[in-house]
Structure 1
Amino acid sequence: MGDSLTLAMTQSRQDIRPKLVVLDDDPVTRSMIARYFSDEGFHVREAPSAAECRTLLKASPPDLLFVDIHLPDANGITFAQEIRASSQVGIIFVTQRDSEIDRVVGLESAGDDYVTKPINLRELMARTRSLLRRSKQSSGQPSHRSVITFGAYVMDMTRRELSSKGGKLIPLTRGEFDLLAALVEANGRPLYRDFLAEVVNNRTGGGEGALRTVDTLVARLRRKLKQAEGDETLIITMPGIGYRFGRVVGLT
C-alpha cells in the first residue's frame, strides 16, 4: 500500500512538471541543455533530428520546444512552421546562426523567442519560464476585458484570437499577440520599446537585440492587419519612445 501511494505521488509530481523537447543534432549541446533543465525540474526529452522530434511530439505533446535551425534532415525554421500550423506549443530557436535575417525570419514564421549559441543557460531558463508563464496566464481564468473591439477587429483575450468583425481569423504568433494585447490594453498611452521588450522577451533593459525584436513584431502586425483590412494606422510610432495604439478600444 505504501509503495503504491509513493509511486502514485511520484507520478503525480512528474505529470505537473513542464515538458520540454530539445531538438539539436549536436549531442554535447543537447545533453547540456537537457541535463540543466532536468535538474531544474523539467521533464526533458531529446531529439537529434526533425523525424525523431515528430515521433516524440506525437507520443506526448510538450509545453515547450527548443529548435536548432541547422538539422540533418530539415531546416529548423521550416520544421517550426510545420509544428506551428497545428500546435500552439512554445517554440524557442536555440542556434548558432545569429544573422539578423535568420532572427527575423525565425520570429516572423513560428518562433516565440530566439537565442544564439554559445548558450547562457540561466538566460535561457529565464526566457523559458517567462514563455511558460505567459502561456499559463493565457489559458487561465478569463480577464474582465476578455473580448475587446477596435476598428474593424475583435480581440478575444481568453481564446487569444484576433479576427475581423466579419469573422475572418487573423493568425498571430504568441509574441505578436502579447505585444498587440499590451498596446490595446494601454488604450492609446505610449509604451516604451524597453517595456514591450519585457512583455515579449522578459528582458529588462534587453539591449538592441530585444528592441529589434519589438520592431520586427510591430512590422509583422502592421503587415497582417493591413492585409486583413487595409489598415495602416492601428500601431503608431512614437519617435524616441516606442509605440501606441491608434484606435478607441471598446469592451463586449
Structure 2
Amino acid sequence: MSQRPHLLLVEDEPAIRTPLVRYLERDGYRVTACGDAAAAREALAGFAFHAAILDIMLPGEDGLSLARSIREGSDLPILFLSARAEDVDRIIGLEMGADDYLTKPFNPRELTARLKAILRRSHHEPATEKPRDTCYRFAGFTLDPDRQALSRGDEPIALTGGDYALLLAMVERAGRPLSREQLLDLTKGREADPFDRAVDNAVMRLRRKLGAQGAEIIRTVHGTGYSFAARVEKD
C-alpha cells in the first residue's frame, strides 16, 4: 500500500490551486484540496494529514483563524502561503504556530523543499492530536483515550492497537458517515485500495467485541462505508 504523505491544501484561487495539486501529486504527495476554511474543516474531520498548506487570505474565515483552530487540538505541521511579504505578516503567521511561511508568487520547487524539511522534522508521521483528559461514554461502554482502554462497567474489553484506532476514529466522528478510504486514512495513514477488505474485517472484529449491540452501534452505510450510531457523551 502507498504511504505517500497526505497534504491538505487550502487555496481559494483555482489558477493556483489546480496546477499546485498536479505538481505536488507528481512529486509523490497525496493532496486533498479545498477552496475555503469550511471545506478544510470537513477534510480535517475525515482524514489524517501529514501537513497543511494554508493560504492566509481566504473568503470567510481566513487562514490564520483556521491555523489557530488546528493548533489548539493538533500538532499538524502548517505552511502558510501569502501574497503579503511584510515582516509583520510573516511574524504573525509564525506566532500562530506555523512551521514555515512562503510568499506569492513562489517557485513550486521551493515549496516542496520546505515541505520536505517540515516532514523530516515531524518524522513523516500523520499528525497526532494533543493529549486530552476526555473519556467517551456510549451504550454502556467507556473509552479512555489516555489509557487506550475500553470497558463495559467494571469489565475491561481487550483491544488491539488497530481496534482502538478504529473505535476512536469513529467515536470522535459519531453520526458522520465515513468511507473505507477515510477510515483507512484515519487509522493507518495510507490510501485505500478499492478492493481492500481491511476496514470491513476490522469493523467485524470490533462489532464482535461490542457484543450484541455491535451492529447497531457501528452501522453499515450502503454505498459509503460505516457510521457510529450510538450517542456519545464526554466527561
In the superposition, the TM-score normalised over structure 1's length comes to: 0.49
1:172-251 residue pairs with structure 2 within 5 A? none
Contact 1:69 1:97 (8 Å CA) reproduced: no
Name the counterpart of 1:62. Answer: 49
Whether 1:18 and 2:23 are equivalent positions in the alignment is: no
Runs of 4 or more, structure 1, over 2 Å off, are none
Give the Cα–Cα distance (whole angstroms) in 2 for the partners of residues 133 and 61 of structure 1.
17
CA drift of 1:98 comes to 1.2
1:142-181 residue pairs with structure 2 within 5 A? none
Which deviations, in whole Å up to 9, do the C-alpha atoms of 1:139-166 show, x marking residues without a partner?
Answer: 9xxxxxxxxxxxxxxxxxxxxxxxxxxx
Structure 2 unaligned regions, length at least 5: 127-235
1:85-100 residue pairs with structure 2 within 5 A? 85-100=72-87
Matching residue within 123, 129, 136 for 1:136 = 123
Give the Cα–Cα distance (whole angstroms) in 1 for the partners of residues 117 and 47 of structure 2.
22
Name the counterpart of 2:20. Answer: 33
Give the Cα–Cα distance (whole angstroms) in 1 for the partners of residues 56 and 77 of structure 2.
16
Give the Cα–Cα distance (whole angstroms) in 2 for the partners of residues 83 and 97 of structure 1.
22
Aligned residues: 128
Contact 2:50 2:124 (8 Å CA) reproduced: no
1:138 and 1:35, CA in 2 relative to 1: closer, same or farther beyond 3 A?
closer
Give the Cα–Cα distance (whole angstroms) in 1 for the partners of residues 46 and 77 of structure 2.
17
The one-letter amino acid of 2:39's match is E
Name the counterpart of 2:109. Answer: 122
CA drift of 1:21 comes to 1.0
Give the match's secondary structure for 1:85: helix
Whether 1:47 and 2:5 are equivalent positions in the alignment is: no
In the superposition, the TM-score normalised over structure 2's length comes to: 0.52
Between structures 1 and 2, the one with greater helix share: 1
The one-letter amino acid of 1:116's match is T
Q: Matched residues, percent identical?
A: 37
CA drift of 1:100 comes to 1.1
1:137 and 1:47, CA in 2 relative to 1: closer, same or farther beyond 3 A?
closer
Q: Which has the higher contact order (CA 8 A, sep 6+)?
A: 2
